């Protein structure tokens, strides 16, 4: 009986701690600014994973990535991965920027890449950018006719 009571008490303590931790995380997140589903952060890097827009069998996954490499330096790009070799696999990489108080992201630069008869494509660049902005990477991924997109959180560049 003592063993069962101890087990129940320990379980209650664990559940209470988990609830307190998740409440603290939600409270901390509410102080962050969100612009078009992206947090504006001072993190070193951000990775965004794809959300499928169409159903299909050719596109496996895709992701976007941006990394602060120093004042005025941003590494940006992404990868599209097909489920198997396809006739064409593509990625469009779009760099957007915003400042605190903006109501939307503005387009900064973009590029595309396509591989034929392949199962993946990656496109990345090191960019010299203007400081004082949050930058995010948005990618559009496709494998034959399957389509998805991904985006990162915004990273502040000094």
Count: domains in the chain: 2
Tell me the per-residue pLDDT of 136-150, one tens digit each, with 9 for 90 and over: 999 999 999 999 999
Other residues' Cβ atoms within 10 Å of the Cβ of residue 140: 22
Tell me the per-residue pLDDT of 57-66, one tens digit each, with 9 for 90 and over: 999 999 999 9
26 in the same domain as 40:
no
Q: Is 70 exposed, middle or buried (0-12, 13-18, 19+ CB in 10 A)?
A: exposed
112 in the same domain as 73:
yes
* Domain CATH code at residue 153: 2.60.40
Tell me the whole-structure pTM to 2 decimals.
0.78
39 in the same domain as 26:
no
80 in the same domain as 58:
yes
Q: In this prediction, what percent of the chain has a pLDDT beyond 90?
A: 73
141 in the same domain as 96:
yes
Q: Which domain holds residue 58?
A: 35-157
């Amino acid at each position: 009986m003592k063993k069962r009571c101890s087990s129940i008490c320990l379980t209650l303590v664990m559940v209470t701690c988990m609830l307190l931790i998740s409440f603290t995380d939600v409270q901390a997140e509410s102080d962050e600014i969100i612009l078009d589903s992206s947090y504006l952060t001072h993190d070193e890097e951000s990775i965004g994973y794809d959300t499928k827009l169409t159903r299909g069998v050719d596109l496996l996954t895709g992701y976007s990535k941006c990394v602060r490499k120093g004042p005025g330096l941003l590494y940006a790009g992404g990868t599209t991965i097909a489920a198997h070799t396809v006739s064409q696999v593509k990625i469009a990489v779009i760099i957007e920027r915003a400042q605190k108080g903006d109501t939307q992201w503005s387009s900064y630069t973009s590029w595309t890449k396509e591989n034929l008869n392949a199962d993946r494509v990656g496109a990345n660049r090191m960019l010299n950018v203007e400081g004082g902005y949050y930058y995010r990477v948005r990618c559009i991924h496709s494998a034959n006719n399957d389509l998805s997109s991904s985006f990162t959180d915004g990273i502040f560049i000094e």
